[in-house]
Structure 1
Amino acid sequence: MKLSTTAKKPWTPRIHPSATLAQQHWLNRPGALTAGLRRLGHVELRVVREYAHRLDAQEAALISKPPGTLAWIREVAMSIDGVCCVIARSFTPLAASHGVWQGIRRLRSRPLADMLYNDAQIQRSEFLSCRLNRAMPLWRTVQHALCTHNTDSLPMPANLMARCSVFWRCGEPLLVAECFTPAFWTPGATLS
């Protein structure tokens, strides 16, 4: 399945030309990201926030819904051996979070992969990737996650690389966007 690309967006099927070989690998790595991270070390997942919110035009277009669609949003930070390496933002229409995708509300600190890769009815779209900018909701998720993770007031890193894909089940979308922090590229340099 393809992600909607009707509106002009920063997300593209082509990886940014500045990406290293390791970045290219991780931005297109199939399967559960958590499984790949576990090959690099001990993975811990921390839920940053879960809440209902209306999607902006960019995010709504990615799941083929109109702007302002009310969605259930889950934001998490994943650490490898205590180092915050990946920050993810997942969402589905609010009605789907009470129906087809109700499992998203019960995960607690378990990874989303626990419910995505054991169901033959689920189809995944192609990956899109981008370098984040301040106008993107995922950028704000990363900012919030890093601020709550660190007690020091550190500036936001530049050139954040991210990927997203949509999982479809019974016609309902669940988008998963994952941003790799600069700290990831040290352990993530190995291709797992």
Structure 2
Amino acid sequence: MRWSYLASVGALAVVLSACSSTPGPGAEDGAASGDGTSADGARSTGVSGADGMSTAELYEGQPAERERVVYFGFDEYSVGGKYQDMLEANADFLKENGNREVVIEGHTDERGSREYNIALGEKRANAVRDVLLSYGVSSNQIDTVSYGEERPAVDGSGEDAWAKNRRAVIEYGQ
């Protein structure tokens, strides 16, 4: 009787181990597996509604990288007219792809206090958000964040560097 019990438990263990999940392709190099867990055990979250989409599907047809940045003048946060067509193209893409989301990142140059730059970056991100909303994008598809001066596009001081760092970037979810 005891041997049959042990054999049953052993068979059950073999069956259960055969049903366990294995990491997806690329998991050995730290990439996320199909369940959102990477090889190092970190759990990632994706864009809501993007479950089951491959990276290629998620990014298919979205505007090119160069078409997602709005630059601002010193101490300004109003969106210039020259960006309206680019923002309308992003809005059209988001309206056609209701399962896609964006985060609008507000950035500043290095001048000013940390608190001031965080507030200015937030105003820049919100200004871009407001334009997208005016074109009919759902507010559920847009989040904003301000990094202030913390994530410069280019290092250095001087007007050339500062001009490239005063920006809002539309980042599509991964």
Could you tell me the TM-score, scaled by structure 2's length?
Answer: 0.31
Whichever structure has more strand as a proportion of its residues is 1
Structure 1 or 2, whichever has the larger Rg, is 2
Larger RCO of the pair (alpha carbons < 8 Å, separation 6+): 1
Whichever structure has more helix as a proportion of its residues is 2
